[in-house]
Amino acid sequence: MSKKKKVTLFIIAAAVLYFLLSYHIIIIGRDITDIRLLKKPTFTLEYTIFSIKGKSNKAILAIDILRENGIGDLLIEEGLMSEEEEARILQTLSREQG
């Protein structure tokens, strides 16, 4: 393999890794159009790929890193939860944790 191909492959691999460290890939449904991205504030592989299928809104919001990165807003935008439901769930979670 030529040096140029090796460098190109290294750059592609580095870009993919950077993307995976930078975003949560949220799977909403079965179709490729049912994928949303949430920006991570710090580089991490935690919850890089996460499916919400079959999970309650409370179970999703109970995951600190996803909640802090805006999964609630995403669920509201997608029409899967109302702002009132989010507030109620967050209040319940704070009572359970504290």
Span 3-30, average pLDDT:
95
Q: What is the pTM of this model?
A: 0.84
Predicted confidence (pLDDT) at residue 31 exceeds the cutoff of 90 = no
Q: Which amino acid does the sequence have at 71?
A: I
Query: How many domains does the chain divide into?
Result: 1
* pLDDT at residue number 33: 83
- pLDDT given for residue 72 in this prediction: 96
Cα distances (Å, whole numbers) of residue 49 to 24, 25, 37, 73, 97: 6, 5, 10, 18, 25
Q: Is the pLDDT of residue 98 over 80?
A: no
Which domain range does residue 53 map to? 3-97
Q: How many CA atoms lie within 13 A of 22 on its CB side?
A: 6
